[in-house]
Amino acid sequence: MAVHQELERLGIRNAVVDLGLIEILDGITAEQRLELKANLLKTGLELLDDKKSILIEKIKNAVTEMIHHAESLQKENFSDYISRKLGYDYTYLANTFSEVKGITLQQFIIINKIEKVKELLLYDELNLTEISYKLNYSSVAHLSTQFKKITGLSPSFYKQLKHKRLNNLEDL
């Protein structure tokens, strides 16, 4: 909505706006581009106009898709999936990601997987073995090691904290 309004305000009428993407069918001036970029920033949105930034967003979206929709996708290595999905060699993607974001693509994947593990632990519907399988870990021990490395807590202790918080809330 904010993007539509800003485009209209700038007199840019021939544009297609989709989730995360604007395709401007007529050319825009450099001045319109700068003003659009500045005004989108005020609303918390960012205009990605260089190829590396766009590629990084595509990588992040592919990682999110694979982690959060794992049950609907075939079991596949992240590197193979991202490379196939984006049509680039994984080494190139990983190097570009590290250069721009300051962390490795593998670290980004692990952090996102652990966030998903935390979410699944809080739902309390799956046990650790099921979560491990769902997120394509080689073993529960591997998942637990990564979880502890990222959060400083074991998965079971993290789950206990949730139960303690709920009990404390019930006591109020």
User: Which of 146 and 168 is assigned the larger pLDDT?
Assistant: 146
The pLDDT, as a whole number, for residue 165 is 66
Question: Per CATH, is 54-170 categorized as 1.10.10.60?
Answer: yes
Cβ count near 63 (within 10 Å): 21
Annotated domain spans of the chain: 2-47, 54-170
Single-letter code of the amino acid located at 28: I
pTM over 0.85: no
Per-residue pLDDT reduced to its tens digit, 77-120: 889 999 999 999 999 999 999 998 899 999 999 999 999 999 99
Instruction: Read off the pLDDT of each residue in 63-70 and give the average, rounded to a whole number.
Output: 84
- In the beta sheet, which residues pair with residue 21? 18
Instruction: Identify the three-state secondary structure at position 63.
Output: helix
Question: Is pLDDT at 141 greater than 60 in this prediction?
Answer: yes
- In the predicted model, what is the mean pLDDT of residues 43-57? 77
Match 């979880």 to its residue by tokens. 147
pLDDT cut 90: percent of the chain above it: 39
